[in-house]
Chains A and B, each alone.
Chain A
Amino acid sequence: MRMCRPRLILFWLTLAITLIVAPSVQAHLMNTGFGPFYDGLTHLFVTPEDLLPVIALALLAGLRGPRFGRAVLFALPAAWLVGSAAGLLLAPQVTLPVAETIVTIALGALLAASCPLPIAAVVGLAILLGLLHGSLNGSELPKTTSYGQISAAGVAVALFVVVSLLAGQAASVRVPWTRVAVRVAGSWIVAIGLLMLGWAMRAPG
């Protein structure tokens, strides 16, 4: 677990480069300038509505153990891809902010409670999340060219990276307070979700 000095330096260098480069990217699904794959790859990181439930699910799976993390690592991107394909093929542009937010709140609450779900339930949640968000993503992508398919692949790779980083991190925590910290992150996600729900259902005027 201990990080040697060169790896530590590498981490901080990576962080510094990301911080310096990111502002000039102005990441956007359409115009990273690196093509559709990288547009998709970036999309997850600039879309909090998608990122928050993924964080919650990855941490929840990680807290339950490496087996859960590995299952979600493959189930979520696969379901997301299937959902994206369905959205690309079938749906007109759809947005379901309330449904998305309710899923986020539910996943955050399960994480905050460190709910001892069986692996089938965790995989089921990953599939549900992947299909819902994937289809919403897919419905917003251009349907006339291969742009949509390639950017969906980019999103799936980004999901793989996020889940492996976070689930791996959560699975490796042993000290009690760090597990509590992960659960506190779940409560923050619930709080953010509740506020998002308030925004979505905001009274006019």
Chain B
Amino acid sequence: MKNFLQRAGLVHRSLVILFLLLYPLTAFAHRRGGEAIGFASGFEHPISGLDHILAMVAVGMWGAQLGAPAIWVLPVVFPMVMALGGMMGLMGIKLPGIELCIALSALALGFAVFREARPKLWIAAFIVGVFAIAHGHAHGTELPLGASGVLYSIGFVIATGLLHSLGIAIGLVHRWPAGRIALRLAGAVVAMGGVFFLWKAISGEAV
């Protein structure tokens, strides 16, 4: 009980500090100017496409399924590598087969959760990293022109991290036998979503 209260106190203080630091970022005046897009738009972007949501939640679920250290290594790798892809997209560097790779990401990650795949950590991180590049690149090339992206980037990364956290939270049911089955079923649902997106990508239809 004491530990719980200690943790609750820590969480409260962390939340207060986080709010105090992040909240003023939504104030619109800023002397460098140009934050026409802003935090809210950046936050909205990763959660506006189902293909991205499925893949990011699946990363968290897979990490939780694999346990430590993958539970935090994968969600750490994904935003960083995704941002690298986003940077390439922003800089106009072309990469082939991005849509296909995004569709494959939901399929592969969902299948990994469904099969409870346990590759070596570096292989899992590599797989997640490759898909992260594709997701980031797609986001980077889609970003509108004419705005400074600092607040946008902050919103974007926080939303991505929260999607991973959601996946980890879902994945924590893995500790119970029934939860393990439920998690595998959730992986199957994600994989089926991936099949749908793959079909769309191959047929060239917009999702």
The answer on a CB contact under 8 Å between B20 and A198 is no
The answer on a CB contact under 8 Å between A2 and B2 is yes
What is the number of residues of chain A that contact chain B, defined by CB distance less than 8 Å? Answer: 58
Given the complex, which residues of B lie within 8 Å of A2, measured CB to CB? 2, 5-6, 9
Given the complex, which residues of B lie within 8 Å of A11, measured CB to CB? 12-13, 16
Nearest Cβ in chain A — how far from B2, in angstroms? 7
Determine chain A's interface SS by DSSP, over half rule: helix
Given the complex, which residues of B lie within 8 Å of A30, measured CB to CB? 31
Contacting B149 at CB < 8 Å: which of A29, A112, A195?
A195
The answer on a CB contact under 8 Å between A28 and B30 is yes
Given the complex, which residues of A lie within 8 Å of B157, measured CB to CB? 188, 191-192, 195
Cα of A98 to Cα of B114 in the assembled complex, Å: 43
On whether A1 and B6 interact (CB within 8 A), knowing A48-B154, A190-B80, the answer reads yes
B84 within 8 Å of A by Cβ? Answer: yes
B131 within 8 Å of A by Cβ? Answer: no
Given the complex, which residues of A lie within 8 Å of B150, measured CB to CB? 48-49, 192, 196, 199
Nearest Cβ in chain A — how far from B43, in angstroms? 12
The answer on a CB contact under 8 Å between B20 and A195 is no
Q: Which of B1-45 contact A (CB under 8 A)?
A: 2, 5-10, 12-17, 19-21, 23-32
The answer on a CB contact under 8 Å between A112 and B76 is yes
The answer on a CB contact under 8 Å between A3 and B27 is no
What is the number of residues of chain B that contact chain A, defined by CB distance less than 8 Å? Answer: 55
Contacting A55 at CB < 8 Å: which of B21, B27, B140?
B21
A27 within 8 Å of B by Cβ? Answer: yes
B110 within 8 Å of A by Cβ? Answer: no
Cα of A197 to Cα of B2 in the assembled complex, Å: 45
Cα of A48 to Cα of B32 in the assembled complex, Å: 11
The answer on a CB contact under 8 Å between A26 and B27 is yes
Cα of A41 to Cα of B157 in the assembled complex, Å: 26
What are the interface flags for A41-74 relative to B under an 8 Å C-beta threshold, 1 for contact and 0 otherwise? 0100111110110010000000000000000000
A90 within 8 Å of B by Cβ? Answer: no
On whether A48 and B76 interact (CB within 8 A), knowing A25-B27, A30-B31, A201-B91, the answer reads no
Which of A76-84, A117-125, A172-180 forms part of the interface with chain B? A172-180
Given the complex, which residues of A lie within 8 Å of B17, measured CB to CB? 165-166, 169
The answer on a CB contact under 8 Å between B10 and A192 is no
Nearest Cβ in chain B — how far from A198, in angstroms? 3
The answer on a CB contact under 8 Å between A199 and B27 is no
Q: Which of A10-42 contact B (CB under 8 A)?
A: 11-12, 14-15, 18-19, 22-23, 25-31, 42
The answer on a CB contact under 8 Å between B90 and A203 is yes
B92 within 8 Å of A by Cβ? Answer: yes
The answer on a CB contact under 8 Å between A173 and B10 is yes
The answer on a CB contact under 8 Å between A26 and B20 is no
What are the interface flags for B123-163 relative to A under an 8 Å C-beta threshold, 1 for contact and 0 otherwise? 00000000000000000100001001111111011101100
Given the complex, which residues of A lie within 8 Å of B30, measured CB to CB? 28, 46-47
- Beyond known contacts A194-B87, A198-B87: 9 more, CB 8 A cutoff: A12-B16, A28-B30, A188-B161, A195-B87, A195-B149, A196-B153, A198-B90, A203-B92, A205-B145
Show the binding face of B for A, using Cβ within 8 Å: 2, 5-10, 12-17, 19-21, 23-32, 72, 75-76, 79-80, 82-84, 86-92, 140, 145, 148-154, 156-158, 160-161
List, sorted by A's number, 7 A–B pairs whose CB atoms are closer than 8 Å. Answer: A15-B16, A18-B19, A49-B32, A52-B154, A192-B153, A194-B86, A202-B91
